[in-house]
Amino acid sequence: MQPFVEQPQFLLEPKSSYIFENRPVKLECKAIRTRQIFFNCDNKWVPEHEHAKSTETNDKGVITIITSIDITAEQLEGQLDSNGYKCFCQAWSATGGTSKSKAATIEIAYLDKVFEWEPLRTDSVISKSAELRCRPPSGNPYPKITWLKDGKSLETNRNGRFILSNENSLLIAQIKQTDAGNYTCVATNIAGTYSSEPAELIVHDDRGWS
């Protein structure tokens, strides 16, 4: 008869994250039915002295082991253009069972200052449409685009007159005279926010303008 082997069970697995502004990322694992947990990052076991360990015991006497490590930007050097820096936990039980957590991917967050395409001055006619093109700077994660009109946040809506296209252009339908103004494309991710130069939208009366 083979001896019973108890398998550790993870209650918390490491989560994928981004590092920015030289702030370390904390990865944490929690497991029951285990006597120890170690992290493996970039296919190397993390030294024991780099682990922070603690335990919790619930009212039923079940012991949870908690282990965490900090990841710094220096550890990710050379990883920016690859698939990231991967870490997982492995837990061992007192009876020899082992369990491996899901892998977390750690990446460096960044946002360039230079837009790939900035919106340009545009002329349009009342009741017609206009497109203000914008391609954000290179960034990780990919930056979110929003628009300002005369320095104030502009609400875009698929069912409205102001639409954010899949290419991040601002589409304006059924133009009104009040739509004239300066439009700014804003790129944001967790590494920062950058704005394009304002682009003027000039609205003409349809009588005699071409």
Q: How confident is the model at residue 79, as a pLDDT?
A: 61
Q: Give the chain's count of helices (H) and strands (E).
A: 0, 21
Residue 115 CA: distances (Å) to CA of 120, 150, 185: 12, 19, 9
Give CA–CA dist 159/127, Å, rounded: 17
CATH architecture, domain defined by 111-204: Sandwich (2.60)
Q: How confident is the model at residue 207, as a pLDDT?
A: 67
Q: Kindly state the average pLDDT of the residues 53-79.
A: 89
Asked if domains 9-108 and 111-204 share a fold, the reply is: yes
Split at pLDDT 50, 70, 90, the class of 78 is low
pLDDT digits (tens, 9 = 90+) for 95-140: 889 999 999 999 989 999 999 999 999 999 999 999 999 999 999 9
The residue extents of the domains of the chain are 9-108, 111-204
Q: How confident is the model at residue 135, as a pLDDT?
A: 96
CATH class given for the domain over 9-108: mainly beta
pLDDT digits (tens, 9 = 90+) for 3-35: 677 899 999 999 999 998 778 999 999 999 999
